[in-house]
Amino acid sequence: MADTAGQQTFALERLVRDVADVLYVEAEEVDPDESLLDQGLDSIRLMSLVETWRADGAEVDFVELAERPTLREWAVLLGQPAGASRASR
DSSP string, 16-61: HHHHHHHHTS-GGG--TTS-TTTTT--HHHHHHHHHHHHHTT----
pLDDT confidence of residue 81: 62
DSSP 8-state class, residue 86? S
pLDDT at residue 9, rounded to an integer: 85
What pLDDT does residue 2 have? 42
pLDDT band at 80, cuts 50/70/90?
A: confident
Q: Which residue has the higher pLDDT, 14 or 3?
A: 14
d(CA 82, CA 17) in angstroms, rounded, equals 23
Short-list 22, 57, 63, CA closest to 39: 22
Distance CA 46, CA 53 (A): 11
